[in-house]
Amino acid sequence: MGLLFNDKKEFSEKVEKIFGDKDNYLVAFKANDLKTGLAKLMIIGGLFYTFDSSRTFILYFSPKGLYESEISNSTKRDFYLMPWNEIEEFEVDEKNNKAIISLRHLGKKVMYEVDFKGRIFDGNEERFIGLKAKDWKRI
């Protein structure tokens, strides 16, 4: 099922099935910085830019690292591990009803927009506050 047909219960069940808990994940959109966003819009075109910036992910935080699974088209995809020792420049910028998580993994900049309002983002704010208090479960 696509993102429009998924619900927060499916995300929670997937995380619990794989990791054994429901407290250490966030649902997020892929984000681009201004320079990258403008380049994609101008060079590649508006349609790809719209598709690329609406990709949705489950981010699971553990002492091993950050696990990422794209859920834009299906919740059946595996999680990809980005170990903490490979992550540089981990930053979180909170604004109004969302947060931007940016990091550099093996030299590549990766950004996620974590919304706190909306049907599939219900519970994100509480989990975000908990993860922030635990320093994102980093060792």
CATH of the domain at 68: 2.30.29.30
**Domain region containing 37:** 3-137
Report pLDDT digits (tens) over 26-53.
999 988 765 554 444 455 555 444 444 5
Transcribe the chain into DSSP letters.
--GGG--HHHHHHHHHHHHS-SSSEEEEEEE--HHHHHHIIIII-HHHHHHHHT-EEEEEEETTEEEEEE-SS-S-PPPEEEEGGGEEEEEEEEETTEEEEEEEETTEEEEEEEESSSSTTTTHHHHHHHHHHTGGG--
Positions of the chain with pLDDT lower than 50, given as ranges = 1-3, 37-41, 47-52
Total domains present in the chain: 1
